[in-house]
Structure 1
Amino acid sequence: MDELDSILAAGRQLSSAKAMLDLLRQVLEDIDMLASEAGRILVLIADPALPGEEGRAALARYQRNFQEILSLLAASRHVSQLLMSNAEDGNPGMLRSLDLLERIASRLPRPPADSAAARAMLPDLSAFTLAVLEARDSFAADRGAIEAQLSLNLEQLDDQQATLGALEDTDLLKEAARLQALQIRQQLAGHAIGLGALVPRCLLDLRSV
């Protein structure tokens, strides 16, 4: 039965990692839109001919945009850490995702002091946007790998059920073994469904920050 418990633990960890990646991909899509808007605002600020009042208004918009991106990143890191805390063991992929999120946050250009600073920041903002898109694609690839691992996890569970079914012990023992395997499958399904429902709620909370 130890192997069945191991399959259950692995399945829970994979489901947590998948939920985390789903959340981060959605957050990065939001950040990509915010970064695109920030780029348009920065171009305005970089124009030395922009009247002072309009320049101040544009700078205020950039500052709000900047804070919104930071808030999204900070809140998504917090939720990701909560998901990681529910995993039995530290998942290297989840840790790598959090590290990537930290590096993205560090590349976000701060609000410029003047038009010259805004012009100098334009390449930095482009680099930030590129990093966001690369991270989103990386998370999508990681999610695909986790889906494959989850499928393998269920195949292992099926193999265990077949092995247990071939035991020559009493019918009662075989039925107990089959029941445990079924319960594990149900637990994995319930865990995945629960995390799947959690992600949309988390996104709503993050977007209302």
Structure 2
Amino acid sequence: MATNSVNTNIGAQVALQSLNRTNEALAVTQKRVSTGYRVSDAKDDGAAFAVAQAVRADIAGLTSANEQMGSVQGILDTTLAGLNKVSDTMTDIRGVLVKLADGTLSSSQRTQYQAQYDSLRTQVQNYIADATYNGRTLLTTASASGGGDIATTRNEQATLYTLTAVEGASSLVVAAAPTDAAAAASALASSGDFVTKMSAVNTALNTFGSNSTYLEAQMSYNKEKLDALETGLGSLIDADLAKESAKLQALQIRQQLGTQALGIANQSPQGLLSLFRG
């Protein structure tokens, strides 16, 4: 086999192959350093990139779910604020009813207490009507008024969590002022109007309070899950920049040495000319 040839420079070929491999490795390392990712696209690692895209989709879904539940939480907070005021006012109404149940009241006194009762009843109606958030309310079932059940997504799979609305105008508002002591006493009886409505208010407070607690817990869980997903995603595709930085410097030195070696190998055929000099 000929070793001294101007047609085939084995040394230059070897040097060129080594330099090409170094350049390829350098390009990969530079990409990792510049992007911060070990896997930034499917060419780097198709399987890992596919998994990463699926995880990113889950992260986007969870983020959207929390945003939607945050909006529903606003509706619940407004609802509970209104119900708390209704409950407080119902306490005052009970006090007035007890007075109206007194058969010794004069006609003038009864009229005054009835006016006070009606005023408190109107306050309850206003609290219920005003308990809206962004045009939505849980204290009416009338869709035209922004009421009705509310279904919100709770996770990245778009699983729904439904909040059931109540018809506040009929189930939470006491009847008009009783006209006499007997009617007032009847309203205060165990199955009377006031007791029935107060029980409905308490039930609504309990239900919507439980809904609010659930949504807060679900959003907290989603945030923890987001942290876990992002940590796992980072472990899968993030580059170790300290390692890549050291590797980059080593490859740059190898590139310089490879370029010098190729230059030397390319000059070796020049030595054959000396054989033909006189």
For the aligned pair, the TM-score class normalised by the smaller chain equals 0.5 to 0.7
Aligned mates of 2:102, 2:137 — CA distance in 1: 44
Please tell me the residue identity of whatever aligns with 2:187.
M
Cα distance per residue 1:87-127 (max 9 Å; x no partner): xx83265641xx23x25742422223511332322221122
Query: After superposition, where does 1:11-160 map in structure 2 within 5 Å?
Result: 11-76=66-131, 78-79=132-133, 81-82=135-136, 90-91=151-152, 95-96=163-164, 99-100=165-166, 102-103=167-168, 105-115=170-180, 116-122=182-188, 123-160=192-229
Note the residue ranges of structure 2 that are not aligned, 5 or more in a row.
Answer: 1-55, 139-145, 153-159, 241-278
Cα distance in 1 for partners of 2:170, 2:195 equals 14
Give the AA of the match of 1:135. Answer: A
Contact 1:104 1:128 in 2 (8 A): no
Q: Normalized against structure 2, the TM-score is what?
A: 0.52
User: Do the aligned residues in 2 keep the contact of 1:14 with 1:146 (CA within 8 Å)?
Assistant: yes
User: 1:52 corresponds to which letter in structure 2?
Assistant: S
Moved over 3 A (4+): 80-85, 92-95, 167-171
Backbone CA RMSD of aligned residues: 2.8
Q: Relative to 1, partners in 2 of residues 1:136 and 1:104: Cα closer, same or farther, differing over 3 Å?
A: farther
Mapped contact 2:100–2:110 kept (Cα < 8 A): yes
C-alpha separation in 2, matches of 1:94 and 1:19: 15
Looking at structure 2, the residues matched to 94 and 104 of structure 1 have their Cα atoms a distance apart, in angstroms, of 21
- Paired with 2:109 and 2:65, the residues of 1 have a C-alpha distance of 55
Deviation at 1:8, TM superposition (A): 1.5
Question: Aligned-pair distance for 1:12?
Answer: 1.1
CA apart distance, 1:56:
0.7
The answer to whether the Cα contact below 8 Å between 1:46 and 1:118 also exists between their aligned partners in 2 is yes
Matches of 1:133 and 1:104, distance apart in 2:
15
Higher helix share: 1
Residues 141 and 90 of structure 1: CA distance in aligned 2, closer, same or farther (over 3 Å): closer
Over 3 Å counting, the alpha-carbon distance change for 1:15 and 1:118 in structure 2 is: same
Query: How far did 1:154 drift?
Result: 0.6
Q: CA deviation at 1:52?
A: 0.8
CA distance in 2 between partners of 1:93 and 1:80 (Å) = 19
The match for 2:61 is: 6
Change (3 A) 1:40 1:168: closer
Indicate how the Cα distance of structure 1 residues 94 and 50 shifts in structure 2: closer, same or farther if over 3 A, else same: farther
Separation in 1 of the partners of 2:105 and 2:74? 45
Structure 1 residue 152: Cα displacement: 1.3
Sequence identity, in percent?
Answer: 24
CA distance in 2, matches of 1:111, 1:32: 17
Q: Which amino acid aligns with 1:62?
A: Y
Residue 83 of structure 1: CA displacement? Answer: 7.6
One-letter code aligned to 1:27: G
Unaligned stretches of 5+ in structure 1?
Answer: 172-209
Q: Which has the higher contact order (CA 8 A, sep 6+)?
A: 1
Establish whether residue 162 from structure 1 lines up as the match of residue 231 from structure 2. Answer: yes
Amino acid at match of 1:68: Q
Q: TM-score w.r.t. structure 1 length? A: 0.67
Structure with the greater alpha carbon radius of gyration = 2
